[in-house]
Amino acid sequence: MSPAERRAGVSLAAIFALRMLGLFLILPVFAVHAPTITGGDNPALVGLAMGAYGLTQACLQILFGMASDRYGRKPVILFGLMLFVVGSAVAALAPDIYTVIAGRVLQGAGAISAAVTALAADLTRDQNRSKIMAMIGSSIGLMFALSMVAAPLLYSAIGMSGIFWLTAALALGAMALTIWVVPAAPATQPAPANAAALRQALCHWPLMRLNFGVFALHLIQMMMWVTLPMALTTHGGLPVAEHWKIYLPAVLLSFAVMIPAIIAAERGRRFKPVYTGAVALLVLVQFGLYTWADNVWLTAAWLTLFFIAFNILEAMQPSLISRIIPPGTKGAALGVYNTLQSIGIFLGGAIGGWILRHFNEAAVGWCCGVLALSWLLLTIASPLSLPPRTESVRCQT
């Protein structure tokens, strides 16, 4: 990669990472914290608070992506980050579960994922774009893993309100990176804001298969963390401040496996077996975690396998999607992709909380397992063909 491409990749991955860390930090601790605030004894509302940001992201991702095609990437990114700061402040000051939900809704209104990934595509040549997209995708997995380790310690030190103020500070840091570090986007003719690009993205079948994948992955992720922190506390006998002892080894081992897997997929063009294997591992985890995890050590083993599958898929999908986006529709196509991701986040929290309230933890796990199995069958049945790489130069200093 050229120096400008490395700068673009690192800075955009950092922006994505800071925002996603702010969203993920509440997942390992909020289910335990919620009963201490008004309305927090309702699992359905707890799940809604955890996944509410996905609702507004789902509603606005396509709009933000198309706006970035027309008005420029950086203005859209900065506007979205400011909304995230406001939502974090509302949640930090919340006296009850309903205000937390409102704050999470505002956080999600800063739907910048499509604009960030479209800017990454603007600033890189075709032969290096998958590397940049893998950096961004890996940053999501890394921040999710980091939040699992850091959140219990932060909660013990600064409380839930302090975590939300920290997420606001992270978003302000992302704004600074956008203004002063991210390279300027290439000068292009503004795209018309019409439905043609959106129709092309929605009718692109290979793209929609990956869209279903990101939907399923994040729905499963959110449903798991509606139940898992409380299970570790009540069944595993671990106080929240010690959950990192489970998460940290699982995260480190997962990255030790994920990195060679991604290298094998990229260098050997073995995308299909690596991708399918990760989805199959996700299926195994969903059925195993709620069936054969009757002690904390077995739970830790299943979590390690989950992090392996999650991190591989989170890194591969943006790389794959960057190669099959229809020409001239980057913002719209990535808006659709991130919309499906956000819908998965919202439904995972809402449905997971509802199932837990009316049934039990095992029911949550079986629902996740059925969804993962459907994804696996679709993956096996569908070819994964990629266009040849081109050598066009798109990056500016």
With beta carbons less than 8 A apart as the criterion, state whether 82 and 32 touch: no
Question: How far is 234 from 257, CA to CA, in rounded Å?
Answer: 30
Question: Where does the pLDDT of residue 178 fall: very low under 50, low under 70, confident under 90, or very high at 90 and above?
Answer: very high
Q: With H, G, I as helix, E, B as strand and everything else as coil, classify residue 268.
A: coil
Q: CA quadruple 314, 315, 319, 320: dihedral positive or negative?
A: negative
State the pLDDT at residue 130: 64
State the pLDDT at residue 189: 52
Question: Where does the pLDDT of residue 54 fall: very low under 50, low under 70, confident under 90, or very high at 90 and above?
Answer: confident
Class of domain 3-183+197-381: mainly alpha
Work out the angle at residue 232's Cα, subtended by the Cα atoms of residues 220 and 300, and round it to the nearest 5 degrees: 70
The candidate with the shortest Cα–Cα distance to 10, out of 187, 141, 147, 181, is 181
State the pLDDT at residue 195: 64
Alpha helices for the chain (secondary structure H)? 3-24, 30-33, 43-71, 73-92, 97-109, 113-122, 126-180, 195-202, 205-234, 244-267, 271-289, 296-324, 330-358, 361-381
Q: With pLDDT > 70 as the criterion, what percentage of the chain qualifies?
A: 88
Question: Where does the pLDDT of residue 269 fall: very low under 50, low under 70, confident under 90, or very high at 90 and above?
Answer: confident
Full-prediction pTM beyond 0.85?
no
Question: Where does the pLDDT of residue 394 fall: very low under 50, low under 70, confident under 90, or very high at 90 and above?
Answer: very low
Q: Show me where the domains of the chain are located.
A: 3-183+197-381
- Give buried/exposed letters for 343-370 (b at 16+ CB in 10 A, else e): bbbbbbbbbbbbbbeeeebeebbbbbbe
State the pLDDT at residue 215: 94
Question: How far is 380 from 397, CA to CA, in rounded Å?
Answer: 42
